[in-house]
Amino acid sequence: MKNLARFFGFLGLVLSLGLTSAAQQTPRTSPTPPPSAGDDGPIKTFEVRLPVTVKDKKKNLVSGLSRGDFLVFEDGVQQEVTFFSDEKTNPPIYVGVLMDTSPSTAGKMRFSKEAARNFLYTVTRVRKDRAAFMTFDHEVNLLKDFTDKLDELDKAVDGVKKVGSQTALYDAIWQFCDEKMRSAPGRRVLVLITDGDDTFSRADINDAIDIAQRTETAIFAISTKAGFLGSVPGVEAGTVKDEGDKMLDRLTRETGGEAFYTGDMLALERALKRVADELRGQYIITYRPANQEYDGRKRKIEVRFVDKQKADDYRIRTKTEYRAIRDSLK
């Protein structure tokens, strides 16, 4: 009987190792459904972190504000602020660049690569920030994990040659946030280089926004809908936004980021410079919700100025909501 027990124990170990190995080789996985409010599991202190951008009426960044300048409200109730930092004390940035390599972007690969390189070199500060690079089509592939070595990131971008058969945009957002952003020890930023169209994901846009909010990840997007000669069939051309544009706007707006629509590389470089300046000039506000129940519903966030004059002169941008569910952030 002892020998038989040892045999089944060994067989179980072999099978588990085999399943683990197979899982590691699978290029694309199904998003795990969000845990419900009543799920058991590890619990982090229930706090919400807000990257806050402040601009004046001319869209210039406003610096020099302090903790006492801000009030935070959740569902209309003022909350207790537990942490505040500015550009001098902000933690490092962990940025993931996700590049679309689906058929719809095949003719714009050069633009996409240049956009990826420009963002990495503009935003990532050597010896402080970290960046990672991933591509997505019908598969989601991490080509370079978080590093501050720009030459290695450049090599990963340059090595992209092939395109896939579909577009799994929402799956890529889910997988990167769930697997990488949870454990990133700094501010979390995701940059999408895509046309915004999704044709293959198991997740939907609500899943993508939900996981970004839960992992405190701000999403920025660079649209690749520009034509081959630099024409832009989106906002800048004065035409009605298509569905892909609307999805990018929603992804970025509800996570505290911004979407850019331009086919001109010089204009894009200026836009990326603004993003880099914004990320470095943000204020980070953390608050502990008065309602500590994991009730599973969405809660509205509003950050206001104490001073009414500042409220008239400046504009605040941050994420606008989150869902109160039990989750584990490292």
In the beta sheet, which residues pair with residue 61?
55
Where does the pLDDT of residue 201 fall: very low under 50, low under 70, confident under 90, or very high at 90 and above?
Answer: very high
Helix pair 265-281, 109-123: axis angle to 10 deg: 30
CATH class name, domain 93-281: alpha beta
152 or 239, greater pLDDT: 152
37 or 302, greater pLDDT: 302
Average pLDDT, the chain: 83
Residue 130 has pLDDT above 50, yes or no: yes
Taking the C-alpha atoms of residue 271 and residue 179, their distance in angstroms, rounded to an integer, is 29
Percentage, residues of the chain above pLDDT 70? 81
- Exposed, middle or buried, 55 (CB in 10 Å: 0-12/13-18/19+)? middle
Task: Read off the pLDDT of residues 3-29 as tens digits, 9 standing for 90 and up.
Answer: 444 444 444 443 443 433 333 333 444
* Average pLDDT, integer, range 113-132: 90
pLDDT attached to residue 236: 44
Least Cα distance to 317 among 31, 11, 61 occurs for 61
Helix pair 205-214, 243-253: axis angle to 10 deg: 20
- The winner for highest mean pLDDT among 118-122, 189-193, 228-232, 325-329 is 189-193
Report the largest interatomic distance among the alpha carbons of the chain, rounded to a whole angstrom. 82
Are the beta carbons of 248 and 224 closer than 8 angstroms? no
Residue 203 has pLDDT above 60, yes or no: yes
Residue 234 has pLDDT above 80, yes or no: no
Cα torsion 22, 23, 25, 31 to 10°: value is 150
Where does the pLDDT of residue 188 fall: very low under 50, low under 70, confident under 90, or very high at 90 and above?
Answer: very high
Sheet holding 187-194, edge to edge: 140-147, 130-136, 93-100, 187-194, 217-223, 259-261
* Average pLDDT, integer, range 89-116: 90
* Average pLDDT, integer, range 145-150: 95
pTM of the model: 0.78
Taking the C-alpha atoms of residue 136 and residue 133, their distance in angstroms, rounded to an integer, is 10
Least Cα distance to 157 among 181, 182, 193 occurs for 193
306 CB-near residues (< 8 Å, 6+ apart) = 68, 69, 70, 71
Are the beta carbons of 216 and 227 closer than 8 angstroms? no
265 or 170, greater pLDDT: 170
120 CB-near residues (< 8 Å, 6+ apart) = 95, 97, 131, 133, 150, 153, 154, 157
Q: Kindly report, as residue ranges, where domains of CATH 3.40.50.410 are found in the chain.
A: 93-281
For 85, phi and psi rounded to 5 degrees? -145, 160
**Tokens found for residue 227:** 């034509």
Question: Strands (DSSP E) along the chain, which ranges?
Answer: 48-56, 70-74, 77-78, 80-85, 93-100, 130-136, 140-147, 187-194, 217-223, 259-261, 283-288, 298-305, 314-317, 321-323
Q: What is the DSSP letter of 239?
A: P
Task: Read off the pLDDT of residues 74-88 as tens digits, 9 standing for 90 and up.
Answer: 999 999 999 999 989
pLDDT attached to residue 7: 42
Taking the C-alpha atoms of residue 239 and residue 166, their distance in angstroms, rounded to an integer, is 26
**Tokens found for residue 265:** 């590389």
pLDDT attached to residue 274: 83
Taking the C-alpha atoms of residue 291 and residue 49, their distance in angstroms, rounded to an integer, is 16
Task: Read off the pLDDT of residues 24-83 as tens digits, 9 standing for 90 and up.
Answer: 333 444 455 444 444 444 445 579 999 999 999 998 999 999 999 999 999 999 999 999
pLDDT attached to residue 31: 54
